[in-house]
């Protein structure tokens, strides 16, 4: 069926929030008068009883294929290759090498510790080129909100050396863009949000682009 019933016989939108830890999602749903579904879907993994499935995890192609016409979710299969810093950097680096003229915008990237030797050579080469060697930015592959990110001109940082011997820590190192494109003097991120229904991204169910301006207090503009 299409969602649940509210007061006055009006159908309510039902949001499955079983696999999200963010209270913001629940709060936004309540503000809109939507019903929250905290329980699991059926034992076969089928899509039952909700209109929106909001999850913090990646989703499988099977999950998408089981969506019914009135149902939608907030992820699509394979998106980890885009939102994972390490996978995105690896994909862009591969494309930059294959099509350098088309991917010149992508800075050289190294996944540490796998590409430590190449990163070390890049740092040494940069140090030879001028009195003001190029800077590199290093960030944890699974970090967020700018935490544990640092700038360096050498591969000899303690954090980088520790990652070389770690079985769990993965870092992404990139050439730092000294003069990035700014909007009113602020760095910016572009977020493209696409609403997917029934596993079909071509249907144009909905699209929203957000621009996040970073500098002082973040500002988000649709």
Residue 122's Cβ-side half-sphere holds a number of Cα atoms within 13 Å equal to: 20
| 121: pLDDT strictly greater than 80 | yes
Q: Give 108 or 44, the one with higher predicted confidence.
A: 108
Q: Is 57 helix (H, G, I), strand (E, B) or coil?
A: coil
Report the candidate in 92, 111, 124 with the shortest Cα–Cα distance to residue 160.
Answer: 111
| 7: pLDDT strictly greater than 70 | no
**pLDDT tens by residue, 128-158:** 877 777 889 888 887 666 677 888 888 877 7
Report the candidate in 88, 107, 86, 85 with the shortest Cα–Cα distance to residue 96.
Answer: 107
H or E element, residue 25 = helix 23-31
Residues contacting residue 89 through CB under 8 Å, at least 6 positions apart: 109, 110, 111, 172, 174
Rounded to a whole number of angstroms, the distance between the first and last alpha carbons of the chain is 33
Residue found under tokens 């700018």: 146
- How far apart CA 29 and CA 67 sit, in angstroms, is 20
**pLDDT tens by residue, 22-51:** 999 999 999 999 999 987 655 444 446 889
* Tokens describing residue 140: 């944890």
**pLDDT tens by residue, 60-104:** 888 888 888 888 888 888 887 877 888 888 898 899 889 999 998
CA distances (Å), 165 to each of 74, 117, 139, 168, 194, in order? 36, 13, 17, 9, 40
Residue found under tokens 């030797």: 117
**pLDDT tens by residue, 174-212:** 998 877 777 777 777 766 666 555 445 444 455 555 666
Cut 0.85: pTM above it: no
CB atoms within 10 A of CB 73: 20
- How far apart CA 24 and CA 143 sit, in angstroms, is 20
Task: Find the DSSP H helices in 99-157.
Answer: 116-129
CB–CB of 210/190 below 8 Å?
A: yes
Cα 154 from chain centroid? 27
């Amino acid at each position: 069926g299409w969602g649940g019933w509210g007061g006055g016989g009006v159908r309510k939108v039902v949001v499955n929030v079983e696999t999200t830890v963010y209270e913001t999602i629940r709060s936004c749903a309540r503000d809109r008068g939507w019903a929250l579904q905290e329980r699991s879907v059926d034992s076969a993994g089928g899509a039952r009883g909700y209109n929106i499935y909001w999850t913090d995890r990646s989703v499988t192609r099977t999950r998408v294929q089981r969506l019914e016409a009135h149902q939608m979710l907030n992820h699509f299969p394979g998106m980890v290759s885009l939102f994972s810093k390490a996978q995105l950097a690896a994909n862009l680096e591969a494309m930059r090498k294959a099509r350098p003229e088309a991917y010149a915008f992508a800075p050289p990237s190294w996944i540490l510790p796998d590409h430590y030797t190449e990163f070390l050579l890049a740092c040494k080469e940069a140090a030879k080129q001028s009195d003001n060697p190029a800077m590199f930015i290093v960030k944890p592959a699974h970090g967020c909100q700018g935490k544990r990110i640092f700038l360096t001109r050498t591969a000899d940082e303690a954090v980088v050396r520790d990652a070389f011997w770690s079985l769990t820590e993965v870092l992404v190192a990139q050439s730092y863009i000294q003069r990035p494109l700014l909007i009113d003097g602020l760095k910016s991120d572009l977020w493209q949000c696409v609403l997917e229904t029934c596993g079909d991204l071509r249907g144009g169910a909905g699209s929203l682009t957000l621009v996040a301006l970073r500098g002082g207090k973040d500002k988000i503009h649709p």
